[in-house]
Chain A
Amino acid sequence: MTVKEFITSGVIETYVLGMATAQEKQEVERMAAENPEVQAEIEAISNALSEYAQMHEMAPPAGLEEKIWKTIQASEIEKTAEPKIVAINQLPKDTFFKPWMAAASILIIVGLGSLNIVFFNKWKSAEKQVIALNNEKLQLVQENQIQRTSLEETKEELAFLSANGTKAIPMKGLPRHPDIAATVFWNSLTQQVYLTTGNLPIPEEGKQFQLWAIVEGKPVDAGVFDISKGKTRLQKMKNFAAAQAFAVTLEKQGGSTTPTLEAMVVLGNI
């Protein structure tokens, strides 16, 4: 963006009105530091708005000027009033309150005051620690939950793989993709079908792999599946009571009703 385009983009007005996002703010301040024109534009807009504000001028009531001046002076005195403690020695001797009492009470007050500050700071930092620990705990609980679920799934998978009747059916790459392989696990007793995706690649956008069971010579849809890198989990597919072979084809997202035979990637006979 050229400086001129930047100036006409409207972002400076937004900035001066305090409506800019953090990112816009940073951008405007950077541009202003680099370009005097941008800086001048910021000033021109601020000045126009200042003039706008000044058009709403209204006379404050008479007497307010003096009242404010007194308040200001009082606040100045407050600031310089601390050494007054010296006056204690000048207390009349015959008062019941002895100077040491006053001194002691001041010490007590000051002591209590500083204790308050100490306790307040301790309390603040303790509060922060509690919050941090709580967050940590929450995170650990969540992580634990994830681990547990994962362990449960692994147990189920292991049970399935070692169950009576489970067969591994390796599917080999067809001549066009000789290196690709995937495996179907099928249990003829429970009819369950699981799949590991082996080294099937991640398909292009809009495409999805689909598993087919060949039943009595005809391909029957066994479900679509996704490939996620680094995951070796078994994927549950549709159940089958009988099949002669399993095959994977690349189909459009969501799968097809009949397989595209030329897009067949792997095939395994039982």
Chain B
Amino acid sequence: MASKLPISEQELVSLLKSRSEEGYRLLYKHYAGALFGVVMKIVQEEEVAQDVLQDTFVKIWKNIGGYDRSKGTLFTWMLNVARNTAIDYKRSSYVRHQIRLDGDFVGMKNEPSESKNYDFIGIDKVLNELKPEQKLVLDALYFEGYTHEEASEKLNMPLGTLKTRARTAINQLRALLKERENDS
């Protein structure tokens, strides 16, 4: 994450539930990058990813009342919203979303921005140390939201192998994260 939240996750949720602008600003500042990265991985096109991110934040704003802390962290919940929205966009036709009536958006597009840089900012040591096939499995299942049958077909891998690989990848990821924690 870009920087640590200055307040607790619970406080942030309360801010959002009370419809406070401060809540939105904090939420965007700390999670937009991570969510945008995931959305980009799914839809691949930056313009679509912007629409998806917008939809995602609107949905988070509207549905924050339905967020249940006991079922996982705020980020996990938001990630699910982002993922599902992105997958919906990907599966429905793009064309519909390319007709833009929003002048605001056109103006924004002309602005020079760093957004053409597709590199992910958070290139992490952990990411480098995961094997390519482990990343492939995690990306397909966790980001792109493929069902196990779809992933098995797409990666040309029997279901059993896929499950084993996914497990190994998670274990490896956890080990690397722990190592990083101990280093710092």
- Verify A59–B121 contact, CB threshold 8 A: yes
For this complex, into which size category does the number of interface residues on chain A fall?
A: 35 or more
- Verify B174–A57 contact, CB threshold 8 A: no
Which residues of the other chain, A, contact B15 by a CB distance below 8 angstroms? none
Which residues of the other chain, B, contact A58 by a CB distance below 8 angstroms? 33, 36-37, 40, 118, 120-121
Which residues of the other chain, A, contact B142 by a CB distance below 8 angstroms? 17, 49, 52-53
* Given known contacts A13-B167, A18-B141, A76-B19, A63 and B108 CB-to-CB distance under 8 angstroms: yes
In the bound complex, how far is the Cα of B76 from the Cα of A44, in angstroms? 12
Closest residue of chain B to A50 (Cβ to Cβ) is B75
Which residues of the other chain, A, contact B157 by a CB distance below 8 angstroms? none
* Given known contacts A47-B73, A64-B53, A64-B54, A13 and B170 CB-to-CB distance under 8 angstroms: yes
Which residues of the other chain, A, contact B174 by a CB distance below 8 angstroms? 44-45, 48
Q: What 7 additional pairs, Cβ within 8 angstroms, besides A10-B164, A17-B166?
A: A46-B73, A51-B173, A54-B1, A55-B126, A60-B33, A68-B54, A72-B58
Q: Choose from B58, B72, B124 the contact partner of A55 (Cβ within 8 Å).
A: B124
In the bound complex, how far is the Cα of B159 from the Cα of A14, in angstroms? 12
What residues of chain B have their CB less than 8 Å away from a CB belonging to chain A? 1-2, 19, 21, 24-25, 28, 32-34, 36-38, 40-41, 46, 49-50, 53-54, 57-58, 61-62, 72-73, 75-76, 79, 104-105, 108, 111, 113-115, 118, 120-124, 126-127, 138, 141-143, 145, 147-148, 163-164, 166-167, 170-171, 173-174, 177
- A16 CB to closest chain B CB (Å) equals 8
Closest residue of chain B to A42 (Cβ to Cβ) is B72
In the bound complex, how far is the Cα of B17 from the Cα of A33, in angstroms? 27
Check A231 for interface membership: any CB of B closer than 8 A: no
- Verify A50–B79 contact, CB threshold 8 A: yes
- Verify A72–B73 contact, CB threshold 8 A: no
In the bound complex, how far is the Cα of B133 from the Cα of A267, in angstroms? 71
* A56-92 near B? 1/0 per residue, CB < 8 Å: 1111111111011111100110000000000000000
- Verify B53–A19 contact, CB threshold 8 A: no
What residues of chain A have their CB less than 8 Å away from a CB belonging to chain B? 10, 13-14, 16-19, 43-65, 67-72, 75-76
Closest residue of chain B to A64 (Cβ to Cβ) is B50
Which residues of the other chain, B, contact A50 by a CB distance below 8 angstroms? 73, 75-76, 79
Which residues of the other chain, B, contact A51 by a CB distance below 8 angstroms? 126, 173, 177
- A73 CB to closest chain B CB (Å) equals 9
- B57 CB to closest chain A CB (Å) equals 5
- Verify A57–B58 contact, CB threshold 8 A: no
Which residues of the other chain, A, contact B24 by a CB distance below 8 angstroms? 69, 72
* Given known contacts A67-B105, A68-B54, A55 and B73 CB-to-CB distance under 8 angstroms: no
Closest residue of chain A to B114 (Cβ to Cβ) is A59
Which residues of the other chain, B, contact A71 by a CB distance below 8 angstroms? 54, 58
- B155 CB to closest chain A CB (Å) equals 13
- Verify B108–A65 contact, CB threshold 8 A: no
- Verify B79–A61 contact, CB threshold 8 A: no
- B78 CB to closest chain A CB (Å) equals 10
Which residues of the other chain, B, contact A54 by a CB distance below 8 angstroms? 1, 34, 37, 75, 122
- Verify B58–A60 contact, CB threshold 8 A: no
- Verify A57–B37 contact, CB threshold 8 A: yes
- Verify B34–A56 contact, CB threshold 8 A: yes
- Verify A68–B73 contact, CB threshold 8 A: no
Closest residue of chain A to B171 (Cβ to Cβ) is A13
The residue in A52, A63, A64, A65 that gathers the most chain B C-beta atoms within 10 A of its C-beta is A52
* Given known contacts A50-B75, A67-B105, A72-B57, A60 and B141 CB-to-CB distance under 8 angstroms: no
Q: Choose from B2, B57, B61 the contact partner of A57 (Cβ within 8 Å).
A: B2
Closest residue of chain B to A16 (Cβ to Cβ) is B170
The residue in A44, A54, A58 that gathers the most chain B C-beta atoms within 10 A of its C-beta is A58
A–B complex contacts, Cβ < 8 Å, 10 sampled: A10-B167, A13-B170, A49-B138, A53-B34, A53-B75, A57-B121, A61-B46, A63-B111, A64-B54, A69-B24
Which residues of the other chain, A, contact B62 by a CB distance below 8 angstroms? 75
- Verify B58–A67 contact, CB threshold 8 A: no
